[in-house]
Amino acid sequence: MSIPIPTPKLPTPLDVPSFEFKPPSARIPSYTPMVIPPSDLEAPEGVQGEAKEEAPSAPSVQLPVIDIQMPLPTAEVVATATYAAVAAVATTTLATPFFDQIKKKLQKFIQGKIDKWKQQQKKKKDSLVN
């Protein structure tokens, strides 16, 4: 006698399309090497160097008592310092009255709150004594 062994009925597999996978690529950074000449580099004989223009020297004042020369600032530095000073003075001059008014109103408001708090404390103290 043989025992019937059940066989499972499996569903048909899904048709999954295949695709080609391309691995990622990256751009590798590169740089051009900087060539620094040696410190003892000299021009070969027979080669003339180019004439270099000297930068204009900064104006200076000779102080006779101490016998030194004091460099003067350039026009750009003086102009920048002047603009900054004028802006600071103008801002302070214009803002001071507004801040004074705000300060007075805040002092009145805070003093009113303190007075009210003191009165409440006094009422509580009087009610506890009676």
Per-residue pLDDT, 130: 66
Please state the three-class secondary structure of the chain as a single string.
Answer: CCCCCCCCCCCCCCCCCCCCCCCCCCCCCCCCCCCCCCCCCCCCCCCCCCCCCCCCCCCEEEECCCCEEEECCCHHHHHHHHHHHHHHHHHHHHHHHHHHHHHHHHHHHHHHHHHHHHHHHHHHHHHHHC
pTM: 0.37
8-45 pLDDT per residue, tens: 898 898 888 888 888 888 888 888 888 888 888 787 78
Q: What is the pLDDT along the chain (130 residues), one digit of tens a residue?
A: 688 888 889 889 888 888 888 888 888 888 888 888 888 878 778 877 777 777 677 778 888 888 888 888 888 889 999 999 999 999 999 999 999 999 999 999 999 999 999 999 999 888 887 6
